[in-house]
Amino acid sequence: MGTLVYDFILISWGFAMGMVRMNSGLATVDIDIPCPHKDRSIPLVFFGSGLLLLGAFCGCLAIATPVGMVLGLPGAQTSFVEVSQVVMAFILYVALMVVFSVLGIGSIRARRWVRSIMMSIGWIWLLVGILTLPALVPGIYQMLVERSSPIPDTSVTGLLILIAIFVAPFASILIVVPALFIWFYSRPTVKKTCEDRNPLTSWSDRCPTRVVALAVGLVVVVLALLPQLADPVVPAFGLMMTGWLALVVILFVQAILLILAFWLIQLKPAGWWCTMAVLILVVMDILVMLLAGEPGSKLAYDWRLWFLAPVSVLLILYTAVIRKSFGVSMNKMLQVE
């Protein structure tokens, strides 16, 4: 009994001395309490469901495209070009369905890579909408003027209201939807939620979003070239390639762009240099085509060339700006040389 009392006194004395030392500043303990943040799992599910709906819509278009051709022309003979256009449209819609479905599932599961890809798609979508929407207004205006010309009491105010009504759906799709994607997926709380639910490091953590945007842009170009495979025409430094040669060139360009997108995500210096070289070649090709065209020819007024020329120059400037993201790899390459 005496031994137990003696041990209890020693333990109590040691505990008291430890408390005195801690209070005197000889020992300090720092405890980091994490700051609470709002969990964005439910909004991620909401936006992911919206992406799945977009994928389902693209799937419906993929089914409706060949069905519409068959039902619209019963017993009629269709040309090879028309069939090719339907096939390419079907492939494009299926590809978009797969992309939106994968992104929707990734958003519902709060994957880290979804943020970078969706912000990239949002910015590309928004820029295309800003450039495309003004071009739609003259066509809508001309259509309304032709249809309202038999009506003598049509006022300017009523015509402007009709234009606004027709433009509103396009503005919602081209401007509002991508702006919502950019606003949501760029929020810090969304990033924190994805990191908490998926603690393992993803490839998107190593690759800056601005580089992912360029890679996504190259993939978008690959998808945009799919309809061109139906009736391939490739302008190349003053020459117009058609037929099988143009088809092979387009397929080759698509393969090169996919490889460059993969290299960019891996932050390979070769990806940056080759992308810059391709963009410079595109600008040179456009300038040669515009200068080679005669002053009254269709080529001189081809809106696609005048649209691609400034866009390609902006892409060159953007690619030059993100060069520092490849700085570490480039320095290693220069040291090896």
Please write the tens of the pLDDT for every residue from 275-313.
999 988 888 887 777 776 555 455 555 556 666 777 788
138 and 246 both lie in a single domain = no
Q: CA 47 to CA 90: how far, in whole Å?
A: 26
Whether 330 shows a pLDDT value over 90: the answer reads: no
Residues 116 and 105 placed together within one structural domain of the fold: no
Same domain, 132 and 190: yes
Clarify whether residues 126 and 89 are in a common domain.
Answer: no
CA distance 265 to 214: 9
Q: Which of 109, 137, 158 is the last residue of a domain?
A: 109
Whether residue 291 sits in one domain with residue 219: yes
Is residue 53 a part of any domain in this protein?
yes
pLDDT in tens, 33-71: 444 567 788 999 999 999 999 999 999 998 888 777 666
Counting the structural domains of the chain, the total is: 3
Domain boundary among 153, 168, 202: 202
> Contacts for 257-260 with beta carbons within 8 Å, 24 or more apart?
257/218, 257/219, 257/221, 257/222, 258/218, 258/219, 258/222, 260/215, 260/218
Are residue 43 and residue 78 in the same domain, yes or no? Answer: yes
Does any domain span residue 24? no
Distances (CA, A) of 36 to 39, 192, 193: 9, 10, 11
In a domain, 334, yes or no: no
What count of other Cβ atoms lies within 10 Å of the Cβ of residue 328?
A: 11
126 lies in a domain? yes
User: Backbone phi, then psi, for 109, in 5-degree steps?
Assistant: -90, 5
- Model confidence at 152, pLDDT cuts 50, 70, 90, reads low
Pair 189, 99 in one domain: no
CB-based contact 104:51 (threshold 8 Å): yes
The rounded percent of the chain whose pLDDT value lies above 70 is 71
5 domain-assigned: no
Max CA distance (Å), the chain? 116
Domain stop point among 109, 124, 145:
109
Q: Same domain for 89 and 123?
A: no
Asked if residue 17 belongs to a domain, the reply is no
Helix (H) or strand (E) holding 327: helix 327-336
In the prediction, which pLDDT does 178 show?
92
pLDDT exceeds 90 at position 1: no
Count CA within 13 A, CB hemisphere, residue 59: 11
Are residue 211 and residue 323 in the same domain, yes or no? yes
pLDDT tens across 162-221, in order?
777 777 888 888 899 999 999 999 999 998 998 888 888 888 888 888 999 999 999 998
Residue 221 lies inside a defined structural domain of this protein: yes
Residue 60: closest CA among 17, 93, 25, 106: 93
Same domain? For 68 and 121 the reply is no
Judge if 172 and 278 occupy the same domain.
no
pLDDT at 17 over 60: no
Asked if 155 and 234 count as a contact pair (C-beta separation under 8 A), the reply is no
- Is 192 in the same domain as 116? yes
Domain of residue 76, residue span: 37-109
Cα–Cα distance between 205 and 202 in angstroms, integer?
5
290 in a structural domain: yes
Evaluate if residue 103 carries a pLDDT over 90: yes
pLDDT-based confidence at residue 94 (cuts at 50, 70, 90): very high
